[in-house]
Amino acid sequence: MPTARAPADDRKAPPETPGPAPLRAAAVKLSGPARAMHKLGLRRDIDLALHLPMRYVDETRLRPIANLRDGDTAQVQGVVQECRIETRSRRQLVVRLADDSGELLLRLLHFYPSHQKTLAVGQTVRARGEVRGGFLGREMVHPEFRAVTAETPLPQALTPVYPSSAQLPQTYLRKAVASALARAPLHELLPPGTVPPGLPPLRDALQLLHQPPRDLDPETLEDHHHPAWQRLKFDELLAQQLSQAQAQAARATLSAPVLRAVPRGLAARLRAALPFQLTAAQQRVVAEITADIGRAQPMHRLLQGDVGSGKTVVAALAAAVTMGAGWQCALMAPTEILAEQHFRKLVGWLEPLGITTAWLTGSRKGRARQAMVAQVASGEAKLVVGTHAVIQDDVVFARLGLAIVDEQHRFGVAQRLALRAKLGAHADDGAIPDAPSNEDRGLEPHLLMMSATPIPRTLAMSYYADLDVSTIDELPPGRTPIVTKVFADGKRDAVIARIRGEVLLGRQVYWVCPLVEESEHIDLQNATATHAELSAALPGTVVGLLHGRMKSAEKAAVMALFTAGEMKLLVATTVIEVGVDVPNASLMVIEHAERFGLAQLHQLRGRVGRGAVASVCVLLYSGPLSATGKARLKAMVETHDGFEIARRDLDIRGPGEFMGARQSGDALLRFADLAEDSALLQQARAVAPRLLREHPAVAAAHVQRWLASRAEFLKA
């Protein structure tokens, strides 16, 4: 194993760290680098074996000094002729190194006495770095170097460079990986015929990637197309497919209440009372959902439909079937504003039909909350609407039949896990022997998730493989398409004139600002200042302000004024992003549009164009735009189709960010790239069911090898 030493790293690394022992228990006191390794999740041998190099350096050959050209990165070996400390400009160690062909200067700006010792006159030294044609001839600044003898062999493999942290020197990590690779149980698990032809066994693949032979061009490895890489990606995708299939199979063994609509029952009465006809797409998804909840296995379905496609009424109908069958329904929304809007809408539809609805949010506390919780526990409240306060510990449902999660992608991974746990807890909750929920012990509620951000096909086939999907692919009739325009911030006055025009016509306007008082250093026009500016520019117009730091009662009051049409212009941060429904709003202005994600822009734009009037969305930007910023704004102008938007979003951002995985700090796929590796994904999808059927133990072992520490995330 070569040990290239970067002098800058030596400060942190103890010169002779003992080789890392296998870490059995976290309680063992770890050295600095071992702790850093633990923090990076490199705990088991297999974790280290799967920690792959980002790139490689070639230390397998030496170049004669005389052949070096300015800009080359090269390794040389020579004898130190002179080693002196210079103090003229900046204090530095200057070393003159000579081989048979010529001389080279090494310059070290940070150095320690140990370096001077290594570089003492007469020492043979191997150095690697970038060559510069300096004033005094060729030189290397801050090369990696080490003392050798004329007989020290050159490494036979390329030297890997691993993703690491400041506390974890490459030398330490290389040793740790090499010894873990030798120990890790990497025997072939997959039976013949499962691995796509041409891909090497896993052990060979890893061996090659950690220690590539010197004649291999590192570039063929670095672009991740090499068969060794393909093998890893395939194994990873297969593990993901298997774990999804396992989750699906596990769910099929659970029982759920059978919820069937009765003739002239609640659902039929709701349908008859609606002020509009369902679209064909709405009828189709209602049929899909009612078929699911009419079965004794828990539904696990995603309802996706573009903004404004009418998902709420579909949810209401599913809720009506549930309640008509004598069970409770919970509807959870990511924000209080949205939850409140659902609450009003559903109460408006269902209260005339005799349904009692409970309202639970974080801001409802004390007595009021206790009363609601009691209604939920007694079963008096048939419908429970709220934010994630709905799944707090003290909320116990008498008979929860259906849980609906709106805008499910807005909930974090942790909240989705909590919901899962809550639903599961309901099933085997024996803690309150006399609670009515006990009689239903063993039954899981059905789960319906809703999202306006459609899942691209590749993601649907991978992360969401165990999810059934219903799609509303049609908007209610009578909508006029939204025209989207992009303006530089300099056109602000023209935009304000346009607002005046809309208000005169009796229409309403949103103005969205990205952040509120987030940081004094960031040059953002905050919502408060914009509110003042617009109020001054539009005398006689009621201008409201809505932002995340307001109390929820204040927010509700502002929303009520806007919904009632009394407030004409609403300046808001992204709190209005999801679900808000005011059909009279016809103009949406988004300031600093370049700072929003594409899905977010599409959601915001969806707040207008909800009525019959032609609507406009204005995207204001402050230049210069980045390439991705430009691509996003262009996509917004070019398409209104949520599916197309999602596809482009995936192109621009990549699936990791799409999933919100960035936020959770844990990318779900480490090696495979869904956009690039769809062929491998297809192969993994084909193999997974067969493996589960014919070799269940192998399937379990494979999942264990790959996903042991990630299983929680994949379940979400």
Residue numbers at the binding site for ligand ADP (CB under 6 A)? 276-279, 282, 305, 307-313, 452, 476, 579, 581, 583, 610
The smaller minimum CB distance to ligand ADP, of residues 269 and 498, is found at: 269
Smallest distance from ligand ADP to CB 612, Å: 10
Least distance (Å) between residue 316 CB and ligand ADP: 9
Whose Cβ is closer to ligand ADP: residue 611's or residue 629's?
611
Residue of this chain nearest to ligand ADP (CB atom): 310
- DSSP designation for 137: E
Burial of 663 (0-12, 13-18, 19+ CB in 10 A): exposed
476 binds, among ligand ADP, Mg ion, none (CB under 5 to 8 A by kind): ligand ADP
Going from the C-alpha of 364 to that of each of 168, 359, 378, 381, 537, the distances in angstroms are 48, 8, 19, 16, 37
Residue 675 corresponds to which tokens in the numbers above? Answer: 């956009």
Q: Choose from Mg ion, ligand ADP, none: what does 310 bind? Cβ within 5-8 Å by kind.
A: ligand ADP
Part of the chain binding Mg ion (CB under 5 A), chosen from 14-22, 369-377, 393-401, 574-582? 574-582
705/687 Cα distance (integer angstroms): 17
Question: What 3-state class would DSSP assign to 177?
Answer: helix
Please state the closest distance from residue 701 (CB atom) to ligand ADP, in A: 43
Calpha distance 32→246 (Å, rounded): 39
How many residues are listed for the chain in this entry? 716
**Contact partner, 276, from ligand ADP, Mg ion, none, Cβ < 5-8 Å per class:** ligand ADP
Which residue in the shown chain puts its C-beta closest to Mg ion? 579
Could you tell which of ligand ADP, Mg ion, none binds residue 279, using a CB distance below 5 to 8 A set by kind?
A: ligand ADP
- Cβ 407 to ligand ADP shortest distance, Å: 8
In single-letter form, the type of residue at position 680 comes to L
Q: Which does 313 bind (CB under 5 to 8 A by kind): ligand ADP, Mg ion, none?
A: ligand ADP
Q: Is residue 579 close enough to count as binding Mg ion by CB under 5 A?
A: yes
| CA-closest candidate to residue 590, choices 609, 580, 605, 570 | 605
Q: What are the tokens at 144?
A: 């990696």
Q: How far is the CB of 344 from ligand ADP (least distance, A)?
A: 12
How far CA 493 is from CA of 344, 416, 487, 488, 684, in Å, comes to 37, 44, 11, 11, 56
Number of residues that bind Mg ion (CB under 5 A): 1
Q: Which is nearer to ligand ADP, 245 or 313 (CB)?
A: 313
In contact, 118 and 22? CB cutoff 8 Å: no
> CB of 311: closest distance to Mg ion in angstroms?
5
* Whole-angstrom distance, CA of residue 309 vs CA of residue 305: 6
- Which does residue 609 bind out of ligand ADP, Mg ion, none, counting CB within 5 to 8 angstroms by kind? none
Q: How far apart are CA 610 and CA 475, in angstroms?
A: 10
Nearer to ligand ADP, 538 or 598 (CB): 598
Chain centroid to Cα 42, Å, comes to: 21
Residue 334: cis peptide before it, omega within 30 degrees of 0: no
Partner from Mg ion, ligand ADP, none binding residue 308, C-beta < 5-8 Å depending on class: ligand ADP
Task: Name which of Mg ion, ligand ADP, none residue 530 binds, using a CB cut-off of 5 to 8 Å depending on partner kind.
Answer: none
Smaller CB separation from Mg ion, 48 or 303: 303
Which of these segments, 327-335, 498-506, 576-584, 633-641, binds Mg ion (CB under 5 A)?
576-584
CB of 423 to ligand ADP, least distance (A): 23
CA distance 635 to 639: 6
**Residues 591/513, Cβ–Cβ less than 8 Å:** yes
Choose the one of ligand ADP, Mg ion, none that binds residue 112, judging by a C-beta under 5 to 8 angstroms depending on kind. none
Residue 169 in the binding site for Mg ion (CB under 5 A):
no
48 versus 286: smaller Cβ distance to Mg ion: 286
Span near Mg ion by CB under 5 A; candidates 33-41, 62-70, 505-513, 578-586: 578-586
Q: How far is the CB of 637 from Mg ion (least distance, A)?
A: 24
Q: Which is nearer to ligand ADP, 352 or 689 (CB)?
A: 352
- How far is Cα 604 from Cα 570, in angstroms, rounded to an integer? 13
Nearer to ligand ADP, 602 or 685 (CB): 602
What are the φ/ψ torsions at residue 79 (nearest 5 degrees)?
-110, 135
DSSP at 444: P
**Residue 261 partner contact from Mg ion, ligand ADP, none using kind-dependent CB cut-offs of 5 to 8 Å:** none
Going across the sheet that includes 616-621, the strands are 483-488, 616-621, 585-590, 508-512, 569-572, 543-546
Q: How far is the CB of 406 from ligand ADP (least distance, A)?
A: 7
CB-CB contact of 275 with 437 (8 Å) = no
Judged by beta carbon, residue 211 or residue 387, the one nearer ligand ADP is 387
Query: Which does residue 410 bind out of Mg ion, ligand ADP, none, counting CB within 5 to 8 angstroms by kind?
Result: none
Tell me the torsion sign for CA atoms 244, 246, 249, 253: negative
Q: How far apart are CA 411 and CA 416, in angstroms?
A: 6
Cβ nearer to ligand ADP, comparing 610 with 632: 610
Q: Please, which residue, 241 or 563, has the CB nearer to ligand ADP? A: 563
Phi/psi-derived region of residue 565, left when phi > 0, alpha when psi is between -120 and 50, beta in every other case: left
CB of 687 to Mg ion, least distance (A): 38
- Indicate whether 334 belongs to the interface with Mg ion (CB under 5 A): no
Which of ligand ADP, Mg ion, none is residue 282 near (CB under 5 to 8 Å by kind)? ligand ADP
Interhelix angle 311-324/336-350, rounded to 10 degrees, is 60
Give yes or no for a contact between 45 and 184, defined as CB atoms under 8 angstroms apart. yes
Using CB under 5 A as the binding rule, the residues of this chain from 193 to 212 that contact Mg ion are: none
Distance CA 223, CA 218 (A): 9
Interface residues with Mg ion (CB under 5 A) are 579
